[in-house]
Amino acid sequence: MKRPTLLIAVVALVVVAGATWLLWPSGGAKASTQQAVSGPYTVQFSAGEPRIGGNTFGVAVTGPAPEAVTVAPVMAQMGHAFPAVPAAPDGPGHFRATGVGLPMSGQWEITVSLRGPGGPAQVVFPLLVK
């Protein structure tokens, strides 16, 4: 093979490899577990692999046992706020919110609200949906 032909083949190979790398679908959003404190409550929020559509979120609470837990998604950049979804008890101190709709990818804020003997409390967790 002549030198110019070899150079063209190498450049073409590099361009194809670069385009493949850029266009290859990335993995979805990673599982996320975050923790925060509000008043007498320590709240741990877990999201499997957040995605567009319905999601299931777990909430673990230590401190006084809350009577009610809700999860409300907000996308501040786009002005989207959705009604709170009640989280059902899933064992002592554990709650699960199912069917939490996230209609688009981007940065979301998930507000976890608690009501119980320790008083009301809210914690906001950032969540990236890809």
> The CATH number of the domain where 64 resides is what?
2.60.40.10
Residue 82: inside a domain, yes or no? yes
Would you state the structure tokens that stand for residue 52, as one six-digit string? 């567009």
Residue 92: inside a domain, yes or no? yes
Residue 59: inside a domain, yes or no? yes
Partnered with residue 129 across adjacent β-strands are 106
Give the residue numbers spanning the domain of 78: 32-129
The pLDDT of residue 4 is: 72
Residue 44: inside a domain, yes or no? yes
The pLDDT of residue 32 is: 83
How many structural domains are present in the chain? Answer: 1
Per-residue pLDDT reduced to its tens digit, 96-113: 999 999 999 999 999 999
Half-sphere exposure of 85 (CA within 13 A, CB side): 23
Residue 119: inside a domain, yes or no? yes
The pLDDT of residue 20 is: 46
Residue 22: inside a domain, yes or no? no
Phi-psi group of 67: left, alpha or beta (phi > 0 → left; psi -120 to 50 → alpha; rest → beta): alpha
Q: What string of pLDDT tens digits covers the 130 residues of the chain?
A: 677 776 676 666 555 454 444 444 444 557 789 999 999 999 999 999 999 999 999 999 999 999 999 999 999 999 999 999 999 999 999 999 999 999 999 999 999 999 999 999 999 999 999 9
Residue 50: inside a domain, yes or no? yes
Residue 70: inside a domain, yes or no? yes
